Amino acid sequence: MFKDKESFKKAFTRQMLDKLGLPLEEASEADVYKILSGMIREHVGRDWAKTNTLYKAQQEKQVYYFSMEFLIGRLLGNNLLNLGILDMVREALKELGYPFADVEEQESDAGLGNGGLGRLAACFLDSLASLQYAGNGTGIRYKYGLFEQKIMDGNQVELPDYWLQRGNEWEVRRPDKQVEVRFWGNVVTRELHGRLIFETVQYEAVRAIPYDVPIIGFGHPHINTLRLWSAESMMDPFRQPSGQDGSYYRYLDYNRSVESISEFLYPDDSHYEGKLLRLKQQYFLCSAGVQSVLRTFEKLNLPLTQLPDKVAIQINDTHPTLVIPELIRILIDDNGFGWEDAWDITNRVVGYTNHTILSEALEKWPVQMVRELLPRIYMIIEEIDRRLRIELMQRYPSDPDRISRMAIMENNQIRMAHLAISGSHSTNGVAALHTEILKKREMKDFYELYPSRFNNKTNGITHRRWLIYANPALAKLVSECIGTRWIKHPQELNGLIKCCRNAGFQSAFANVKRHNKEKLANYIFDKQGIRVNPESLFDIQVKRLHAYKRQLLNVLHIVHLYNQLKENPGMDIVPRTFIFGAKAAPSYYLAKRIIKLINTVAGRINGDASVKDVLKVVFLENYSVSLAEKIIPAADVSEQISTASKEASGTGNMKFMMNGAITVGTMDGANVEMHEMLGDDNMFIFGLSAEQVQNYYQYGGYSAWDMYNSDSRIHEVMDQLIVPGLICSFDNEFRDIYQSVLDHNDEYFVLKDFASYSEAHLNIDLAFRNRQDWQKKAILNVAHSGKFSSDCTIRGYASEIWRLIPVQKK
Ligand code: 26Q
């Protein structure tokens, strides 16, 4: 049915009639979306089954990527692209009277993630399938994704994201594959033939139902599975008939509590807080996921001792760390293994990826909570801790401090990172600098104990979604210049280096950017009624709102520019449009105040006719994957300005680079590796280094008040946060922000980096005036971005951590 345009049109029209009883003329865009996505789902069904049969027949080793988040966004366009029929379908629909862009908008954005970590998981799935690895995703099918953001009166307001409201054409419910997950209860121990047997009684059982989503590989019929688990109640959860002595009411309570398990995604406020429901979610994912992995393994009819030869589990941060005690539990309690063997198997199966160096974000669960909710898992963690302590005592007999520092259980808390490192064979950071910081500081003790476990895997992004799909005009131009091999081998984008000075190519490149900027300008006007000039420099910062990402530095600098323009109306600056997009965790007060500040500044500046030709500020509501696809291709400048050492990697930085934006950034996360390739000529680096930041934390010597008193620009913009004038409309309007910087001694060095940030922006201004040179820089950014394709990252994980080779290579 997808052979050619005409047969597609015929099949499509026919399905519209058969499935919805609608002649084409009466179909809405939503109807078109529904039929089209249904057709694709059906179309891939056979190849999906074939891929699974192949895995089984060839006894492939499989990797399971366990993650509490998969930020997949929309699937229609991406699936058509990977199937190689996007252009054909686009044309066919156009001929039938439906612009593809309008059809696409009918799909809700699957926002099952907060930001980088969740989007990384989605990019990895795309690469796994496209490179023909046997790789699966394991996650939770949240009923509500990350909240929808509305801006009201400049403030963020959160609305529930009921993304499933209109159904989900991509998923298949698989009740036949359901498993049971048990909470609460008591462990009874007895002896049987000289062995201790552990049995949990009086537990509460929950049904885990999988929903499978096909993950379509690019350019070949290789289809992997993302399995998302949903919690449902059982008829007989307590293993006793309900209805007796008040147990009916207990059942009703139970029913409600079960539904909440897969109800919503927790927003990340990077400030760890141990919530019972979150722990339930984590164990739900781990237990259902591990049981399902083992069921698939069972079909191979091999002994469990061979599990590490056939299965790798990668845990996306510590959120799914409970796979470790869960796998041990199943091996010991259900399969009769002794501790050593169960531990050894588990250790060889699991790998752990760390995504954070903010110590306040590290997960620690209260002992009591784990003991009550997961009594048997708790016993196993206790045993892991006991054995680790013995190992440490032997290794460091005279260093009790070190043992307390490294223990898993300490101060009535369970440190999940320590559990993850000791229970797995691999711990990786997500950028070179990040891994070095883990080894030298954050996890130094563990690095010294297990040096060979630590390794780096610099993050990546799928160039299929982020270049070919999001920026088709640029992809086409690239192919015209260097051919199409780069699509399968993204490193070959470096073929563009030879075109970077070619005037004809530069001007074609500039036209593509211009076209993308016009599209974004139209979107901004449609959505927010603000007119921005596509001729101006588009300077963009889109990412979660967090103090360490320093949106505040950006907005204070904008205020400074505005002050200069007010003082000196004739000042010669390149016209700029500053664009922001960011969600703040609902409970993160300071982050929300920064959103209000950005909107206040935007309102003032956009309302001031005297700067209307040179300065605009836009805060785009509800930043999400599909919005990112519209914004990133239109950027001239990419803001990656975190306090050095704080951003583990960043992946937005890579997306902008691949779309020909030039980065203004600190030497943080993967910016460092970008800089290695691009050099000072093609990136605007500023600010303290990670080492300098560390030194200030360690030895002091920085005073925010001194900065304020010694730099008149800083003095002026800080005062504008509290004194009515160009920015504030009443006394102390932004006192909380003012205080966070001055009274708390500027934890993120916003003031310290202000001068060098301003200077970087002056350099941007100068550089943008020389358009040809600017194009050259932008082209070089694209040319060097192939290294950041997630294909490259996934090959690294596959060969060095999972020991997996692509299926087609056999
Ligand atoms: C934890 C406990 C309770 C509720 C929520 C959370 C939670 C949820 C999500 C904690 C953290 C996250 C997400 C973290 C994250 O996205 N980290 C980013 O990961 C990217 C991919 O590796 C990196 O590029 C970024 O640098 C890093 O900040």
CA angle 181, 183, 187 (to 5 degrees): 115
Question: CA-CA distance, 499 to 444, in Å (whole number)?
Answer: 45
What band does 358 get if pLDDT is binned at 50, 70 and 90?
confident
pLDDT at 595 over 80: yes
3-state secondary structure 491-544: HHHHHHHHHCCCHHHHHHHHHHHHHHHHHHHHHHHHHHCCCCCCCCEEEEEECC
Mutate to test the pocket of ligand 1, among 65, 66, 70, 268 (most ligand atoms within 8 A of CB): 268
| Per-residue pLDDT, 729 | 94
Q: What does the domain layout of the chain look like in residue ranges? A: 59-74+109-459, 526-765
577 close to 532: Cβ distance less than 8 angstroms: yes
Q: How confident is the model at residue 360 (pLDDT cuts 50, 70, 90)?
A: confident
What is the tens place of the pLDDT at every residue in 334-344?
A: 999 999 999 99
Q: From ligand 1's centre to the CA of 640, what distance in Å?
A: 17
The residue among 160, 263, 179, 182 whose CA lies nearest residue 227 is 179
Model confidence band, residue 442 (pLDDT cutoffs 50, 70, 90): very high
Q: Is the CB of 355 under 6 A from ligand 1?
A: yes
Task: Write down the pLDDT at residue 808.
Answer: 75
Q: How many CA atoms lie within 13 A of 351 on its CB side?
A: 25
Instruction: Say what the pLDDT of residue 810 is.
Output: 52
The residue nearest atom 7 of ligand 1, judged by CA position, is 268
Question: From the CA of 168, how far away is ligand 1's center (Å)?
Answer: 26
Distance of CA 799 from the midpoint of ligand 1 (Å): 25
Residue of 69, 114, 321 to test ligand 1 pocket, by largest number of atoms within 8 Å of CB = 114
Structure-derived torsion over alpha carbons of residues 188, 192, 196, 202, reported in degrees to the nearest 10 = -20
Determine which of 2-11, 319-328, 632-641, 642-651 has the lowest per-residue pLDDT on average. Answer: 2-11
Q: Is the CB of 269 under 6 A from ligand 1?
A: no
Atom number in ligand 1 closest to CA 459 = 22
Three-state DSSP at 269 gives: coil
Question: Mean pLDDT, to the nearest integer, of 663-674?
Answer: 98
Does residue 430's CB lie within 6 angstroms of at least one atom of ligand 1? yes
What is the rounded CA–CA span in Å between residue 38 and residue 33?
8
The per-residue pLDDT for 240 is: 62
Higher-confidence residue of 3 and 205: namely 205
| CA-closest residue to ligand 1 atom 10 | 268
- Which of 549, 553, 593 has the alpha carbon at shortest distance from 735? 593
- Give the residue among 105, 139, 387, 159 at the shortest CA–CA distance from 284: 139
Q: Are strands 179-183 and 135-140 parallel, antiparallel or unpaired?
A: unpaired
According to the model, what pLDDT value does residue 145 have? Answer: 97
Asked if 579 and 538 touch (Cβ cutoff 8 Å), the reply is yes
Q: What is the identity of the amino acid at 24? A: L
Helix axes 754-769, 771-783, angle to 10 degrees: 110
Query: Matching CATH topology for 59-74+109-459 and 526-765?
Result: yes
C-alpha distances out from residue 286 to 264, 324, 329, 388, 714, Å: 17, 9, 12, 23, 49
Are residues 656 and 638 in contact, defined by beta-carbon separation less than 8 angstroms?
Answer: yes
CB 798 within 8 A of CB 804: yes
Which of 65, 69, 117 maximizes ligand 1 atoms within 8 Å of its Cβ, making it the mutation to test the pocket? Answer: 117
- Mean pLDDT (the chain) is 96
The best mutation among 66, 355, 458 to test binding of ligand 1, ranked by most ligand atoms within 8 Å of the C-beta, falls on 355
Contact 666, 753 (CB under 8 A): yes
645 and 694 Cβ atoms separated by less than 8 Å: yes
Query: In which band, very low, low, confident or very high, does the pLDDT at 2 lie, cut at 50, 70 and 90?
Result: confident
pLDDT at 522: 98
CA of 281 to the centre of ligand 1 (A): 16
Question: How much distance in Å is there from the Cα of 319 to the middle of ligand 1?
Answer: 10
pLDDT at position 252 is: 87
d(CA 89, CA 74): 17
Locate 22 and state its tokens. Answer: 């609608």
Strands of 430-495, DSSP E: 454-456
**Is there a contact between 552 and 734 (Cβ–Cβ < 8 Å)?**
no
Going by alpha carbons, the residue nearest to atom 12 of ligand 1 is: 268
Is the minimum distance from the CB of 647 to ligand 1 under 6 angstroms?
yes
The single-letter DSSP state of residue 305 is: G
Pairing relation of β-strands 615-620 and 576-581?
parallel
If pLDDT is split at 50, 70 and 90, which confidence band does 20 have? Answer: very high
Give me the sheet containing 637-640, strands edge to edge. 615-620, 576-581, 537-542, 637-640, 662-665, 684-685
CB 807 within 8 A of CB 712: no
Cβ(459) to ligand 1 under 6 A? yes
- Confidence at 359, pLDDT banded by 50, 70, 90: confident
Residue 278: predicted pLDDT: 96
What is the per-residue pLDDT across 92-143, written as a single tens digit (0 to 9) for each? 999 999 999 999 999 999 999 999 999 999 999 999 999 999 999 999 999 9
Measured in Å, residue 51 CA sits from the centre of ligand 1 at 32
| Percent residues over pLDDT 90 in the chain | 94
Say how far apart CA 473 and CA 480 lie, in whole Å.
11
Return the pLDDT at 389: 98
Residue 749 CA, ligand 1 centroid: distance in Å: 22
Q: What is the per-residue pLDDT across 418-441, written as a single tens digit (0 to 9) for each?
A: 999 999 999 999 999 999 999 999
Is 115 a pocket residue for ligand 1 (Cβ < 6 Å)?
yes
281 lines ligand 1 (CB under 6 A): no
How far apart are the C-alpha atoms of 122 and 118, rounded to whole Å?
A: 7
Q: Which ranges of 209-338 would DSSP assign to H, the alpha helix?
A: 247-261, 276-298, 307-310, 323-329
What is the tens place of the pLDDT at every residue in 693-704? 999 999 999 999
Report whether CATH 3.40.50.2000 matches the domain 526-765: yes
Q: What is the pLDDT of residue 246?
A: 64
Mean per-residue pLDDT for 161-182?
97
**Torsion sign, CA atoms 46, 47, 48, 54:** positive
Is 429's C-beta closer than 6 angstroms to any atom of ligand 1?
Answer: no
Please give the positions annotated as active site: 355, 543-544, 549, 651, 655
For ligand 1, the distance from its centroid to the CA atom of residue 142, given in whole angstroms, is 17
CATH class of the region 59-74+109-459: alpha beta
Residues near 113 by beta carbon (within 8 Å), at least 6 away in sequence: 69, 70, 71, 119, 121, 122, 145, 146, 265
Residue 632 and residue 535 in contact, taking contact as beta carbons nearer than 8 Å: no
Taking the CA of residue 648 as reference, the ligand 1 atom at the shortest distance is 26
Evaluate: CB of 669 within 6 angstroms of ligand 1. Answer: yes
Kindly give the distance from the C-alpha atom of residue 65 to the centroid of ligand 1, in angstroms, as a whole number: 16
Under DSSP, is residue 202 helix (H, G, I), strand (E, B) or coil? coil
pLDDT digits (tens, 9 = 90+) for 514-540: 999 999 999 999 999 999 999 999 999
Q: Which of 454, 425, 460 is closest to 442 using CA atoms? A: 454
516-549 burial by CB neighbour count: b if 16+ within 10 A, else e? bbebbbeebeeebebebbbebbbbbbbbbbbbbb
Of the candidates 50, 199, 29, the one whose C-alpha atom is nearest the C-alpha of residue 103 is: 29
The string of pLDDT tens digits covering residues 549-586 is 999 999 999 999 999 999 999 999 999 999 999 999 99
Which pLDDT does position 245 carry in this prediction?
Answer: 61
Residue 664: in which H helix or E strand, if any? strand 662-665
Q: Is the pLDDT of residue 241 over 60?
A: no
- End-to-end Cα spacing for the chain: 31
Give the residue, by CA position, lying nearest to ligand 1 atom 21: 117
